[in-house]
Structure 1
């Protein structure tokens, strides 16, 4: 069971009167300590497995590098297809077979984490395969379609086997795919590309809020980073868009924090506020030093007020 499902089960026991809130906290603490205590043999086995996977990948790359240029397009495609099949089959076997895929609240064992890494590698091989097939026709936008195809595979891999590495891979590929589709394929300007990335950040916020990103803090972190990148891209030609949209990201973070208390939300909101205010003051004051000093002083005063209120509430 995942941490979230355990927490939900404990809450039900408290609601039913089986456990008191104090007993719930004690059980949750004990479960957390048990999960963080990893046997030394298991730790060494996990390290060895990841190192072995890295060496296998490195060996494959060395073999390909020594003969890659001698292969024609068909030979390269067949080689990549074989790699993709091998990675998918190996990942499925490590995960526990097809019956272990697309299962919610599956235990995050060492083999399953390693399987998730293999799925990500398969997605990267798909990108290489699509890129080679399209680039052979002289299409300058081959990278866009390659990244988009890799995104589809990575998203399916994450849906089959949720993991942090799969989530991060999907986030990077989604960011690249959206920017490429809007900028290179559709030919839109920086403002439109930035707004598209901002919408993508909103989708990540929604996925995290409804429990479709695991762990939630990573999903929220991806949402914040994607939205902030979109806000900055939108203001390449006119800075006003950057700090206006960045302020919107900050307000979104604080709104979500009021509902779901994840530290990454309040930290992201604080970073977004600092970035928006700094850019706005820098733009409005024509880069005046006095205005920057005023921002520092007002920020220090606000920090002091917040600290006093927190300490008073604690007392």
Structure 2
């Protein structure tokens, strides 16, 4: 442990010296330190404490679920709140212990500890939201969901993981729907929920640009936008035109963005959106007169056409990508190293 600490301190001093000499910028030095930490973490076996952290978090979560499924009604409200609050506090402290160096500004956290900390932060957010929900009246859902969303976002900021980002996504749509329900503005229609969910998906898409788990953020964004566009169909045919119009708009937006942002999630969302919207439009325009076999044929043709369009866009994007010549400096500098200072 002492040798490892001395090595880390020596590495930090060396990088700081390179920054002072002008060989590296401060940002490049941080990137080098992060890459070295990740390489060391990947090359060394996981510590037993980290493995125990994963197993312990999973057992606690399984225990809470089992308790809620079989013995929850037998517990008094005070016992429920106390139990969930204890789980939230313990999970939060475990997450801080795993990812504390990042919060204190002492450099990046090794991947294994970051994943443990992120998982424990998710558990803490869920338990805290449930604890507040148990303490309040049964019909008060906005406050617990907003608390869960806030804690999940803080946990993701402390230890960015794909699981933490998915938890933030689930908490965001849950909080949004809870607020809409408590305000009483939605009535019995799903249209307001659908429009709000589409807007939430667009917000997630804008935020995904700056997130560490960019692809996961885009999956959340595209899923919310497409699901929200389809929600008005649950009201019958009253909003069918709006539904497949929104779905088509989301699909086209994803395909257009793929020209500048070459991520497979966008092209997949565009293909799925067109495959949903076109058969819905044909079914609506023909008043359902089209038969099942013909509808399957239409869906297949639309899927093939959307896939072909996606391949064309991918090929066009690949052709626009600059091709480095032999011996030339790539985007990371000469010989694939860091950019020159």
Give the TM bin, normalised by the shorter chain.
Answer: 0.7 to 0.9
In the aligned structure 2, how far is the partner of 1:304 from the partner of 1:82? 54
Checking the alignment, whether the CA contact within 8 Å between 2:84 and 2:128 is kept in structure 1 is yes
Match of residue 180, structure 1, among 168, 178, 181: 178
Deviation at 1:116, TM superposition (A): 0.8
State the aligned residue count: 276
What is the match of residue 93 of structure 1? 97
Once the 2 structures are TM-superposed, how far is the Cα of residue 108 of structure 1 from its aligned partner?
Answer: 4.8
Instruction: Check 1:246–1:128 CA distance in 2 against 1; reply closer, same or farther (3 A cut).
Output: same
Name the CA distance, whole Å, in 1 between partners of 2:54 and 2:74. 31
Q: Which runs of 5+ in 2 are unaligned?
A: 1-23, 25-34, 320-341
Q: 2:267 aligns to what SS in structure 1? A: helix
Secondary structure of the structure 2 residue equivalent to 1:288: coil
Correspondence 1:83 to 2:84: no
Q: Could you say which structure has the greater relative contact order, defined with CA pairs below 8 angstroms and 6 or more residues apart?
A: 2
2:206 aligned residue: 206
Report the TM-score, using the length of structure 1 for normalisation.
0.74
**Hey, what does 1:245 align to over in structure 2?**
246
**Bigger proportion of residues as helix:** 1
SS at match of 1:197: helix
Question: For residues 158 and 84 of structure 1, what CA distance do their matches in structure 2 show?
Answer: 15
Residue by residue, what CA displacement relative to the aligned partner does 1:66-122 show, whole Å, maximum 9, x if unpaired?
A: 97656533333233322222221111011135xx22869934521121111111111
8 Å contact kept, 1:282–1:292: no
Question: Deviation per CA, 1:181-228, whole angstroms, max 9, x where unpaired?
Answer: 21353341321111111110010011012x1x2211111110000111
- Following superposition of structure 1 onto structure 2, how do residues 1-315 of structure 1 map, counting pairs within 5 Å? 38-39=42-43, 41-42=45-46, 49-59=53-63, 71-97=75-101, 100-101=102-103, 106-135=108-137, 139-140=138-139, 142-188=140-186, 189-209=189-209, 211=210, 213-237=211-235, 238-285=239-286, 286-289=288-291, 290=294, 292-294=296-298, 296-297=300-301, 300=304, 310=315
Unaligned runs of 5+ residues in structure 1 are 1-17, 19-30
Aligned partners of 1:281 and 1:292 also within 8 Å:
no
RMSD: 3.6
SS in 1 for 2:141: helix
CA 1:206–1:301: 2 relative to 1, 3 Å: closer
Q: Please report the TM-score for the alignment, with normalisation by the length of structure 2.
A: 0.69
Please identify the structure whose Cα radius of gyration is greater: 2
Q: How far apart in 2 are the matches of 1:224 and 1:36?
A: 35
CA contact (8 A) 2:92 2:124 kept: yes
